[in-house]
Structure 1
Amino acid sequence: MSGPVRITLAGYQGPDSVHTRGLEAFRDALTAAVGDRVEVILRPNVGPDGIKTEALPGLVEAGELDACYIASSYLAGRVRELSLFDMPFSAPDRHRALALVDGPLGARFGSALAAATGLTLLGVWDNGLRHMATARQPLHDPSECDGMVLRTLPNDDHQAAFRALGFRPLVIDAKDLTQAVCDGEVDAQENPLTNTYNFNLHGRLPVITLTGHLMGIALFVFNKDRFAALPEDLRQAISAAAAEATRAQRALAESEDEHCARALRDDGATLVVLTDAQRAAWREAAAPHTERARAQHDPELLALFDAETGTDDKAPDPTPEPATALLNTRGEM
């Protein structure tokens, strides 16, 4: 009699991460559905093992892991469709953005991913609105970031966009990020509030300007060949568990923003809300890069993306809770 099917899941964040909890939700849903037919092994954070975040998809493709989550920006160089979410100040608010990836646009992402990689897309997770954090000065205007060294992901579109805004981009892997910030290697970093808080980046860079310049998505992916080789009923159970985990992860991510905003404020961080005029200045500064990026995509794909963004210039609301609640203990914004 054969033993259980072993499925190894991996991630790159700690136990409090909404992504780690998403993996746990998948594990729990799958084992509840099929019992001892599967043995799910969870490796929440491969960083301490010396594995870089960007290596995870390759390890899944090679069969050393079965599944992982990964920020879409890490794969946008191989799957250009994903780079739609790498254009600053372009994505709609989180609810409309997630509605996009639950529709025809998400189906395009899945097809493109399968064609370009050895991965199957099981779900699209909420990777949060990204904001700028600095040591002392808020970034009310793009001119204030001129010459600042900014930590970025290993994504060409991010680097080009931030360079166009005046930053000096520096790629640092997630496993090295906390130490790099502590050592003063960067003047600024950009992340969702959950990462800023859980990686303790606000100790060195406590002034967080709520730019909401990117709405991040994370892909929950499985080895394509391994998935196809599983019995049909087990594939269906995995897909159903992934859908349940996706719903759980998204709910956690939204509530986490509110929790982390309060926790950051309680730790003495300053959260800065931009005015409409200030936000418009950021969008205007990013516009030339965005137009160049849009020109690289086919019109049909852009139409799917624009279905939720609309034709106006309204930016996504980056504020995780009412602005008055984001005042720090000194009443500063």
Structure 2
Amino acid sequence: MASPITIRMGGYGPPTTSFSKSLTFIGDKLRAAFGDRVAVDYVFNIMDHGYKAEDILTLVENGELTLGYQSSSYLTDRVPELGFVDLPFLFADNAQARAAMDGALGQYLVGKIEERVGYRILGWFENGFRHISNKLRPIHTPADMKGMSIRVLPSDVHKRTFELLGAVAMRMDLTEAIAMIKAGTLDAQENPLANTVTYGVHNFHKYHTLTSHFYVSRPIFLHRPSFEGWPRDVQDAMRKLVADAVAYQRKLALEEQDAARRTIEAAGCEVVALTALEHAAFVDAVQPLLAEARSAYGEDMFRMVGTS
């Protein structure tokens, strides 16, 4: 009897997150469809095994993991075009963002990633809109961020955004940020509310502002040599299951955001919902970056978003 196809899936969150549940969704259906032809294994949180969150990129590229996910910002140094979807206030809402990432924009970015990295990209999980938390004071305007140190993803676009907002932006991996937040040596961070709760940041940051400044997707990437070596029926099944898992994860993500806000408020934290005028001040502050982006990326990419 032939050896089973080993499929090892990994991420960087506990089994309770929408991402981990979606990996289980894929694995359960693979086992149901193929039985002993596949051997499915999980490493839900590589950080529990001494890795940094960013290491998942290498683990999949080297084939130590078969499938993983990671915020697209972690790949911008290798795939500069991904800097486009790091732009602030690019998407108005989830519906617009999902349509773009599932449509021409997402397909274009998949092509660019696969040109440069040994992945096969099969879809985009939703990390969603990001908000600011900090230990110092409520934030209502960019002026409230002046001099505030804040962790940003490893993206020059993210760094520049917060510099325009007056903060001291510090690119670093999630593991470093969590350690500094717990030590009290980092003033602020930005994340979807669910991530803020998952990593316990609300226990250290009293102030949370709903800025929705970035929408970040997490590409679902497979070790390309492994994927391309599978029989066609297994490849086809994986493609379909990832598409189904994306829809499943996005539904869970909305539920997580609502639950996370309740958790943050129950912990005695202050949640600031910006007025329209306050939100406009943040958008105005980053206009130089958006103007540069039109020259750097071209109008075609903005048309893919529907903002040209």
TM-score tier after normalising by the smaller chain length: over 0.9
Are 1:7 and 2:7 an aligned pair?
yes
Matches within 5 A, 1:276-291: 276-291=276-291
Query: Once structures 1 and 2 are overlaid, which stretch shifts more, 261-270 or 209-218?
Result: 261-270
Q: Is the 8 A contact 1:162 1:169 kept in 2?
A: yes
**What is aligned with 2:43?**
43
Within 2, Cα distance between the matches of 1:170 and 1:239?
37
**What is aligned with 2:17?**
17
Q: Is the 8 A contact 1:20 1:44 kept in 2?
A: yes
Q: Is the 8 A contact 1:16 1:198 kept in 2?
A: no
Within 1, Cα distance between the matches of 2:242 and 2:202?
32
Within 2, Cα distance between the matches of 1:151 and 1:140?
19
Q: Is the 8 A contact 1:85 1:91 kept in 2?
A: no
**What is aligned with 1:326?**
none
Deviations 1:145-189 (A, max 9, x none): 111110111112111211121111123322233322110121111
Within 2, Cα distance between the matches of 1:78 and 1:179?
27
Report deviation, 1:297. Answer: 0.8
**What is aligned with 2:194?**
194
**What is aligned with 2:129?**
129
- SS state at 1:53 partner: coil
Report deviation, 1:80. Answer: 2.5
Report deviation, 1:23. Answer: 1.2
Q: Is the 8 A contact 2:83 2:155 kept in 1?
A: no
Within 2, Cα distance between the matches of 1:65 and 1:298?
36
Deviations 1:265-286 (A, max 9, x none): 1111111110111111100001
**What is aligned with 1:114?**
114
Report deviation, 1:247. Answer: 1.1
Within 2, Cα distance between the matches of 1:298 and 1:288?
15
Query: Once structures 1 and 2 are overlaid, which stretch shifts more, 81-90 or 6-15?
Result: 81-90
TM-score (norm 1): 0.89
Report deviation, 1:81. Answer: 2.6
Q: Is the 8 A contact 2:132 2:209 kept in 1?
A: yes
Q: Is the 8 A contact 2:202 2:269 kept in 1?
A: yes
**What is aligned with 1:303?**
303
Give ranges in structure 1 of 5+ residues lacking alignment.
312-333
- SS state at 2:241 partner: helix
Q: Is the 8 A contact 1:48 1:175 kept in 2?
A: no
Deviations 1:245-265 (A, max 9, x none): 111111100111111111111
Matches within 5 A, 1:140-289: 140-289=140-289
Within 2, Cα distance between the matches of 1:116 and 1:286?
30
Within 2, Cα distance between the matches of 1:241 and 1:185?
42
- State the 4+ residue runs in structure 1 displaced beyond 3 angstroms: none
Instruction: Give the root-mean-square deviation of aligned CA atoms.
Output: 1.4
- SS state at 1:151 partner: strand
Within 2, Cα distance between the matches of 1:301 and 1:238?
29
Within 2, Cα distance between the matches of 1:84 and 1:92?
15
- SS state at 2:151 partner: strand
Q: Is the 8 A contact 1:207 1:269 kept in 2?
A: yes
Residue 23 of structure 1 aligns with an amino acid whose one-letter code is L
Q: Is the 8 A contact 1:12 1:175 kept in 2?
A: no
- SS state at 1:228 partner: helix
Are 1:100 and 2:63 an aligned pair?
no
Q: Is the 8 A contact 2:177 2:186 kept in 1?
A: no
- SS state at 1:212 partner: coil
Deviations 1:198-251 (A, max 9, x none): 111011112100000011111110011221121111100111111111111111
Within 2, Cα distance between the matches of 1:5 and 1:143?
55
- SS state at 1:64 partner: coil
Report deviation, 1:92. Answer: 2.4
Within 2, Cα distance between the matches of 1:262 and 1:85?
29
Within 2, Cα distance between the matches of 1:285 and 1:30?
48
Q: Is the 8 A contact 2:124 2:220 kept in 1?
A: yes
Give ranges in structure 2 of 5+ residues lacking alignment.
none
Within 2, Cα distance between the matches of 1:269 and 1:36?
49
Q: Percent identity?
A: 33
Q: Is the 8 A contact 1:34 1:237 kept in 2?
A: no
Q: Is the 8 A contact 2:136 2:187 kept in 1?
A: no
**What is aligned with 1:324?**
none
Within 2, Cα distance between the matches of 1:92 and 1:84?
15
Residue 104 of structure 1 aligns with an amino acid whose one-letter code is A
State the aligned residue count. Answer: 308
